[in-house]
Structure 1
């Protein structure tokens, strides 16, 4: 069978081109997603400030939740923490008593903002936040003093050379540092640099231990130097055994880099989710694409398969032949797709970095494993698609083989018809459930995702029936457009199966792309509306690196101000419920001053009283209420961003969570559990007589370099994370359209190429070349209208559920240009896939074409 398969591949190169290209790109995308997945799991960077330590002890940067599955069984799931977990200073004494420990060095840190001599803010490398560390912590890393001297007084600061260059300062110059108050002037005492001379991944600065303590730092880690002869592994084991604390982590080797660079670890967790989502969508589309491509290829080989059956070939032998062809094609495509995957993964990493999903210097973990896995998945997918496609052809009885192969099968088999209508019934049940039960947001979104999948599969299964319906609707119109229309109508009536094979990929592209894109546009519309309606403050103070918390207090003291609040942002972790099963969830959180909540921010409480917000209570959005299964009066059990457990009464459920955050807490409570200890902005509501307020606010902002005054909260800034998530979904759509384009073009090109003899016969019987072209144009119009129209109808059902879940109305946000782009791109591909092969075939002399072999 393998020999026969290789001979078939050699003789039918053109018939396997579409399948090969689909497999090639599928292997490239899956390989790239595999690299991203591995990079996310192994996320880390070489240690710099901790490079000289034998072991680093930090807080565990994840929280473990105990959850219940659908069957009632207990499972444990870990969720990463976005804020740095602080340590207690008393831990140093316990570490000192561990065998093998020579020295314990405390690493204290506080987030600062740096301004140069001209009061211009200077951010860290790659735009990251700056942290000031205690000078004693210099011993833990690879930094060395290159100029000047160590900080000797409370007014001395040491910068790394790269940061000093960007700030335009050198030893002896002055800079200003801000923490939680107004800037304070420091003298640059010296410069440090890494021993190998390269710029550090994150900019650093050092203060004397006494000066740093005045700024209220947090203990970030403890660096441990081992006794001579004690290996890092043995030291780590001894520390772990002595401390015996699940909330602590001991890092050695590459783990020291993960302990140092929290941004890489957090973005790595996000990257794992994205890689799984993109890879899963592409794999799902690949199944449809390969099924459509191989089904068409097998249909065109019915005569060949029938002949093999007539000479005694068994169905099993035919399936093995087709499987061998698919396996060889997939192996070659997978091997050639790996280099493309390498290029693609770097492109994806750069795009993710551009949207703030990962740091610009996020390292990729490159190994053969993802590409080997991609090749394996590609082969298995190809085998599954070809074996399913060959079921009907291999069931032909030898005595009926040639007769049935001469014409297209008359209709659907009973099993396929039953399967299709069962899928339609399931889709109808899902849609009805979402409409009738007024389900919560997450249930509606889950139903919408399942619904579009059920509808597309049902379309593929019932393709010939739907195509026949489309022909009955459109063929009478073609009959009225002359000879070419009459021929096009006759062809579509006689070849419903071929028409179905052309329509199904169009339905797939339009329905999937529309559902994904317009779900995002609907969510962004709702979020933007909520931000505009919910922000009732007159003025907003903001800064790129965050606003000092004491600015809000100073604004409140102005007589022209009715109320003001700092707005701090973070995340919380809890146990959510989805379709009866629990799962760990991370929700956006905001902290506001309870006294200013109603006058600066209107969250539109649906239930409860927002004025009862306090350090022991919280308010949640309707989305969080449905996910967490909570209501007013219930007790919420959450973990704050640094892992601190929080238990509080739900005092209100509000509707504007999409525009702001799902969890609202007391400002000071949430601020204390963030790493940067800064507000994202300050919201100001003016009093009735507020003459000179703008001038007064501008005067206050001038004391905090980088702080600017706005008349409102910028929607783009408020929804930055949502827009980044939307971009990821647009990327998925791009991959879907690009991938289905292969099927559309290949399916139509193969179907058109198979009509070479038909075209020759028409021309020999007197049909002009332009008439054949006109006939094919009108057939293409039928395919486009049926495919785009049906795909649009199918997308309407899940989008209705999404719109109800987001805004309570059944009308999704569908930008006209966006829909035209999806429908237009699909239509252009369909027409090109038909008309280009048609014109190429018409260049062949009719007498040569009609005598050519199939």
Structure 2
């Protein structure tokens, strides 16, 4: 069978081009997703401040939650922590007692802001900010003192050379440092640089240990660097330290892991990248199955005569299945091998796009190994096998006496199995839609139902393809009959070949319905978020800064007589256990900290029940969607983990409606601020007292004491939606990949279908049909395919979008942009037209007498 399959491939090279291209692109995308997935798991950067340490003990930057699955089994799930986990100083004594430990050095630090003499904030190297650390931790890293001396006096500071060049200072010059208070002036005592002379990944300054504790009170122990005794193995020492500490909140690192402990942004980005890569790869794999099924079904249908002849001379169904399986395996293997290099180019393009939208750092490194490529090739081959065996099922079941008759004409109607399957799927879709509308389900349940609905609807259309095509022809054929002979021919052809028409329509339905659902679900969410932001912010003025606002600024503003209320606004994330479609899962929720006294006056979250002003260190308020997701109400106890992993049990005192515009969880300002890395506010919201004079001048004067702080009349909606827009962009990227992938399939499918009609075109021309009439016939057939594909795809997307809109805004009308819909429908239509008309014009260049005698 293998030799016969190879001979078939050689003889039918044109027929396998479409399948090969689809498999190649699938392998490219899957290999790129595999590289992103591995890079996310192994995310890290070369250690700099910890490069000389043999072992690094740091906080475990993830929290693990245990819960019961639907089948009763115990599940452990981890969620990344966005804030640095602080360490207890007492851990150093336990580490020191481990055999093989020469010394333990605590790395104490915190993010700070430098200010030039002209009052301009310094963004730091690559805009990553600046961190202050204790001078005694210098021995843990790869730094050396290049000029000057160590910081000895209370007012001395040491900068890295790249930072000094950026601020144009030298030893002996003054520079101001600001943490959570007004800037304080320091004298530059010296400069440090990496031993290789390069700039550090993140700008750093060093202060004397005592000075750091006094000038940067929010500094905490970020890690313990362990220097091993001579002859001690770092890995064995790490194992011994783990045994002694026996603390799930701590992580012990060696080798490359030291970089993950040092650079928190890379670690968190890696966790996000794992989720994104899995989502993109899963969607593409799902689409690949549909796409390849459509392509291989068409290929098998074009080979009906060949398969019929094989059955007539005694070939068994098993032999035919093995032959087409061998063909698919060979095609998939070749496509996978050729597609993987293209995936390597694609992954670098994706990495740059992710970096441009702030999802990963600009210097995020990719982990390259053979594993993603091997996995992509294996999945490509398996996908090809599944698609071709499914498509060949009917062709291999017919009896030898029926084989040639079966091949002569296209079998009308649907088989009983397909009718039953399609009917069951449609009933299931109706049940999902009615359930979503009738029940007071939470947002995430409705979104889950919407995603399941669009998928099942597309499957139903694929199963009932000939029936759907026949319905479309009945509606559109009368219009074509009115356009003359070419219209009559087009209508007759579509009536006689509904299965071929279904193979062309299904990819269009998939592209339009899936793309519309994903894109307009995002636009609906963004519209609601923007509306809630504009309605919920009732403050007159907003103080903000790119690197954060000192918390004491809110206190000073609050003490002004012209101010009715003011609050610092700090943001972070919390982790909890939620429930989606009946199954528990760990969830990461956005959180904000505010002064309860300012709720209602500076910030209106539109409480549905409870008392928002009852917020304290032991209470929280949650949004309506979060309440449904977590199954909580007023008076219940929320079990949360704050951004640095600290567990919190708090009573729910209120449920509010404007969670999309703001955050899922609202808590006391000081409570949340204490568990963030930077210990700074995102902004300060100010509400003027009634009949008070204009505050603009007074607030501007106050803000001038905190360089970088600017005064605005309101929150910048675009800035507040930056994270949501980044998430939306990722979904647009998924849609773009799917549309590009489906586009190739549409062109392939239609090109294959058109190319198989070479003898038909020749017969028409020999019987007197003009070349222009054949082109007109195909143009009108394209109209039927495009109108049916785009129309059905649009109709299918309407049902899940109604569920999404109900979940987001409570109304059934989603935010559908005309330009966005035209882009989706227009691109799909253009590709469908190109896939039909280009092969048609190429075939018409062949002389009819040559084409009529050519083999199939």
Aligned-pair CA distance for 1:90: 2.3
2: CA distance, partners of 1:756 / 1:565: 75
1: CA distance, partners of 2:327 / 2:91: 64
Aligned-pair CA distance for 1:396: 1.8
Matches within 5 A, 1:553-632: 553-632=555-634
Identify the match of residue 760 of structure 2 among 758, 761, 779: 758
Asked if 1 retains the 8 angstrom alpha-carbon contact of 2:594 and 2:667, the reply is yes
2: CA distance, partners of 1:853 / 1:801: 52
User: After alignment, is 88-97 or 149-158 more displaced?
Assistant: 88-97
Q: Which residue of 2 aligns with 1:183?
A: 183
Q: Which residue of 2 aligns with 1:813?
A: 815
Q: Which residue of 1 aligns with 2:345?
A: 343
Query: What secondary structure sits across from 1:665 in the alignment?
Result: strand
Superimposed CA distance per residue, residues 295-322 of structure 1 (whole angstroms, 9 cap, x where no aligned partner): 0000000001101111111111111111
Aligned-pair CA distance for 1:131: 1.1
Q: Which residue of 1 aligns with 2:510?
A: 508
Q: Which residue of 2 aligns with 1:228?
A: 230
Q: Which residue of 2 aligns with 1:520?
A: 522
User: After alignment, is 753-762 or 566-575 more displaced?
Assistant: 753-762
Superimposed CA distance per residue, residues 380-434 of structure 1 (whole angstroms, 9 cap, x where no aligned partner): 0000000000011111211111111011111211111111111111111111111
Aligned-pair CA distance for 1:129: 2.6
Q: Which residue of 1 aligns with 2:146?
A: 146
Q: Which residue of 2 aligns with 1:406?
A: 408
Identify the match of residue 745 of structure 1 among 726, 744, 747: 747
Query: What secondary structure sits across from 1:751 in the alignment?
Result: helix
Q: Which residue of 1 aligns with 2:129?
A: 129
Q: State the TM-score, normalized to the length of structure 1.
A: 0.99
Q: Which residue of 1 aligns with 2:672?
A: 670
1:41 aligns with 2:16: no
2: CA distance, partners of 1:692 / 1:441: 42
Q: Which residue of 2 aligns with 1:777?
A: 779
Q: Which residue of 1 aligns with 2:500?
A: 498
Superimposed CA distance per residue, residues 484-522 of structure 1 (whole angstroms, 9 cap, x where no aligned partner): 111111111111111111111100000000000001000
Aligned-pair CA distance for 1:755: 1.1
2: CA distance, partners of 1:461 / 1:238: 60
Q: Which residue of 2 aligns with 1:250?
A: 252
User: After alignment, is 69-78 or 21-30 more displaced?
Assistant: 69-78
Q: Which residue of 1 aligns with 2:689?
A: 687
Aligned-pair CA distance for 1:693: 0.7
Aligned-pair CA distance for 1:187: 1.2
Q: Which residue of 2 aligns with 1:391?
A: 393
Q: Which residue of 2 aligns with 1:29?
A: 29
Identify the match of residue 444 of structure 2 among 406, 420, 442: 442
Q: Which residue of 1 aligns with 2:355?
A: 353
Aligned-pair CA distance for 1:185: 1.1
2: CA distance, partners of 1:592 / 1:485: 68
Superimposed CA distance per residue, residues 744-787 of structure 1 (whole angstroms, 9 cap, x where no aligned partner): 11111111111111111111122111111111111100111000
Superimposed CA distance per residue, residues 527-550 of structure 1 (whole angstroms, 9 cap, x where no aligned partner): 011101101011111111111111
User: After alignment, is 580-589 or 369-378 more displaced?
Assistant: 580-589
Q: Which residue of 1 aligns with 2:553?
A: 551
Q: State the TM-score, normalized to the length of structure 2.
A: 0.99
1:272 aligns with 2:261: no
Matches within 5 A, 1:156-167: 156-167=156-167
Q: Which residue of 1 aligns with 2:640?
A: 638
2: CA distance, partners of 1:74 / 1:330: 38
Superimposed CA distance per residue, residues 441-469 of structure 1 (whole angstroms, 9 cap, x where no aligned partner): 11111110110010000000000000000
1: CA distance, partners of 2:758 / 2:680: 71
1:64 aligns with 2:64: yes
1: CA distance, partners of 2:656 / 2:475: 49
Q: Which residue of 1 aligns with 2:2?
A: 2
Matches within 5 A, 1:787-802: 787-802=789-804
Aligned-pair CA distance for 1:639: 0.6
1: CA distance, partners of 2:232 / 2:492: 86
Asked if 1 retains the 8 angstrom alpha-carbon contact of 2:545 and 2:710, the reply is yes
Aligned-pair CA distance for 1:97: 2.2
1:171 aligns with 2:171: yes
Query: What secondary structure sits across from 1:89 in the alignment?
Result: coil
1:193 aligns with 2:189: no
Q: Which residue of 2 aligns with 1:656?
A: 658
Identify the match of residue 838 of structure 2 among 836, 839, 842: 836
Q: Which runs of 4+ in 1 moved over 4 A?
A: none
Count of residue pairs the alignment pairs up: 854
2: CA distance, partners of 1:19 / 1:747: 9
Aligned-residue CA RMSD in angstroms?
Answer: 1.0
Q: Which residue of 2 aligns with 1:14?
A: 14
2: CA distance, partners of 1:745 / 1:241: 61
Matches within 5 A, 1:208-357: 208-214=208-214, 215-216=216-217, 217-357=219-359
Query: What secondary structure sits across from 2:147 in the alignment?
Result: strand
1: CA distance, partners of 2:771 / 2:248: 79
1:374 aligns with 2:376: yes
Asked if 1 retains the 8 angstrom alpha-carbon contact of 2:441 and 2:628, the reply is no
2: CA distance, partners of 1:356 / 1:311: 63
2: CA distance, partners of 1:249 / 1:323: 49
- Gapped regions of structure 2 (runs ≥ 5): none
Aligned-pair CA distance for 1:559: 1.8
Aligned-pair CA distance for 1:238: 2.1
User: After alignment, is 159-168 or 798-807 more displaced?
Assistant: 159-168
Aligned-pair CA distance for 1:631: 0.6
1: CA distance, partners of 2:221 / 2:290: 54
2: CA distance, partners of 1:197 / 1:529: 51
Superimposed CA distance per residue, residues 550-593 of structure 1 (whole angstroms, 9 cap, x where no aligned partner): 11111112222111111000000111111222111110000001
Aligned-pair CA distance for 1:243: 2.0
Aligned-pair CA distance for 1:709: 0.8
2: CA distance, partners of 1:5 / 1:272: 39
User: After alignment, is 57-66 or 259-268 more displaced?
Assistant: 57-66
Q: Which residue of 1 aligns with 2:491?
A: 489
Query: What secondary structure sits across from 1:699 in the alignment?
Result: helix
1: CA distance, partners of 2:73 / 2:752: 52
Aligned-pair CA distance for 1:71: 2.4
Aligned-pair CA distance for 1:94: 2.3
Q: Which residue of 1 aligns with 2:708?
A: 706
Superimposed CA distance per residue, residues 351-375 of structure 1 (whole angstroms, 9 cap, x where no aligned partner): 1111111111111110000010000
User: After alignment, is 555-564 or 584-593 more displaced?
Assistant: 555-564
1: CA distance, partners of 2:78 / 2:412: 55
1:416 aligns with 2:418: yes
1: CA distance, partners of 2:451 / 2:745: 23
Q: Which residue of 2 aligns with 1:103?
A: 103
Superimposed CA distance per residue, residues 799-836 of structure 1 (whole angstroms, 9 cap, x where no aligned partner): 00000011100011000000000000000001111111
1: CA distance, partners of 2:207 / 2:423: 72
Aligned-pair CA distance for 1:635: 0.4
Query: What secondary structure sits across from 1:544 in the alignment?
Result: strand
